[in-house]
């Protein structure tokens, strides 16, 4: 399995003069180690500036221009791994909380999809066991004895439970992220029914 790249997440806040609860922004992910470093901040600023210059971001979204003052680091700690008291002590701006939630929900969506792909070959076995409509074939019995059979089922159950828990704990501040389109597209593609030609 290929080693995942080290990345850092930032939010480019469009208008820092607005009250915290009304601030909007763009979630930016850059390749780089170390998290909140000067180099990673510069990369994030460059990405947002380019998007703004080519018209991918509406000009009025950054009425005072774009500078390092607009760039806020998104701590990697997952909101659902912390207690509400921990989050209060950090006093993260709502937009940063929203960014954390989008990042975590996206990670969990990928986990659920990958877990479902792993368990897919065992679906006929699971259906036969649950519905009691037929005995398992000799091949299915051998598959069910495999160690990875139980692990695959546990993984998908755990992933779905984590995703549901994260959604329940979400503040809803993810809506403050202007470019949540990427997440929305992923959400739509994962929930869209398969094409069934008639």
Q: What residues contact 120, with CB distance under 8 A and at least 6 apart?
A: none
pLDDT at 34: 81
Q: Confidence band (pLDDT; 50, 70, 90) for 154? A: very high
How far apart, in whole angstroms, are the C-alpha atoms of residue 38 and residue 168? 35
- Which pLDDT belongs to residue 114? 93
The pLDDT of residue 181 is 54
pLDDT digits (tens, 9 = 90+) for 64-78: 888 888 888 888 764
pLDDT value at 141 more than 90: yes
Instruction: Order across the sheet with 7-13: list the strands.
Output: 25-31, 7-13, 71-73
What confidence tens digit (pLDDT) does each residue in 82-118 have? 444 444 445 678 888 888 888 888 889 999 999 999 9
Mean pLDDT, residues 175-179: 74
pTM of the model: 0.62
Judged against a pLDDT cut of 80, whether residue 42 lies above it is answered with yes
72: closest CA among 6, 8, 7? Answer: 8
Q: Are 162 and 108 in contact (CB under 8 A)?
A: yes
Alpha-carbon distance 138 to 144, whole Å?
10
pLDDT recorded at residue 90: 54
How confident is the model over 1-19, as pLDDT tens digits?
Answer: 445 678 888 888 888 888 7
């Amino acid at each position: 399995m290929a080693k995942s790249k080290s990345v850092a997440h930032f939010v480019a806040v469009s208008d820092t003069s607005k009250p915290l609860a009304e601030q909007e922004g763009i979630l930016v992910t850059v390749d780089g180690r170390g998290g909140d470093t000067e180099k990673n901040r510069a990369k994030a600023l460059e990405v947002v500036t380019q998007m703004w210059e080519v018209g991918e971001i509406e000009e009025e979204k950054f009425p005072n221009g774009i500078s390092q003052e607009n760039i806020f680091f998104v701590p990697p700690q997952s909101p659902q791994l912390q207690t509400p008291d921990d989050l209060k002590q950090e006093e993260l701006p709502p937009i940063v909380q929203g960014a954390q939630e989008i990042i975590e929900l996206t990670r969990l969506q990928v986990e659920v999809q990958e877990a479902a792909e792993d368990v897919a070959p065992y679906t006929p076995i699971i259906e036969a066991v649950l519905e009691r409509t037929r005995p398992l074939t000799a091949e299915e019995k051998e598959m069910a004895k495999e160690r990875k059979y139980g692990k695959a089922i546990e993984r998908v159950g755990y992933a779905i439970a984590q995703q549901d828990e994260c959604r329940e704990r979400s503040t809803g501040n993810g809506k403050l992220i202007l470019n949540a389109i990427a997440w929305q597209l992923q959400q739509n593609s994962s929930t869209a029914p398969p094409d069934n030609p008639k």
